[in-house]
Amino acid sequence: MKDVLTVIRGEVGKKYPITVRVSATDYVKGGLFPKDIARMLQPLESELDAVHVSTGGLVPVQPNHIYPAYQVPQAAIIKQHLRVPVIAVGLIDNRSLADHIIQDQLADMIAIGRPLIEDPDFAAQLL
């Protein structure tokens, strides 16, 4: 993977951001956990500008409980082990929640997807 990132970096240059999106857990006993993912990412940090942390999607298992910011704890664990910025995602649908995540240093950035699909004017509400 580092070889691939090195080639990409060589093609796009230092000013173009390279990020990866990872699934921090697969919600399966004996499966992936955030610390495992962080260990896998550490050797790649020199080629990355950020890591976008999600969960699930690797196997057909859903988390037991989905709630606003439910994926942030996994992002926070990964952030503790990396030097590159970490992007959190997962039902972060209002500014106060996003501000809390950033202020408490649980993540460095917030990704918002579903609210923008549901409401094209959603970003204006964040101002």
pLDDT at 80: 97
Of 18-22, 33-37, 38-42, 114-118, the least confident: 114-118
| pTM confidence score | 0.91
pLDDT at 101: 98
Burial class (CB in 10 A: 0-12, 13-18, 19+), 70: middle
pLDDT at 61: 81
| Domain spans, the chain | 2-125
DSSP 78-116: HHHH-SS-EEE-SS--SHHHHHHHHHTTS-SEE---HHH
Residue with tokens 């918002």: 112
How confident is the model over 83-91, as a mean pLDDT? 97
> Confidence class of residue 81 from pLDDT cuts 50, 70 and 90?
very high
> Do 52 and 16 meet the contact criterion of CB atoms below 8 Å apart?
no
Coil/strand/helix, residue 11: helix
Q: Which residue has the higher pLDDT, 87 or 62?
A: 87
> Confidence class of residue 9 from pLDDT cuts 50, 70 and 90?
very high
CATH class, range 2-125: alpha beta
Instruction: Give the angle 102-72-120 at the CA atoms, nearest 5°.
Output: 75
> Do 53 and 25 meet the contact criterion of CB atoms below 8 Å apart?
no
Q: Is pLDDT at 99 greater than 90 in this prediction?
A: yes
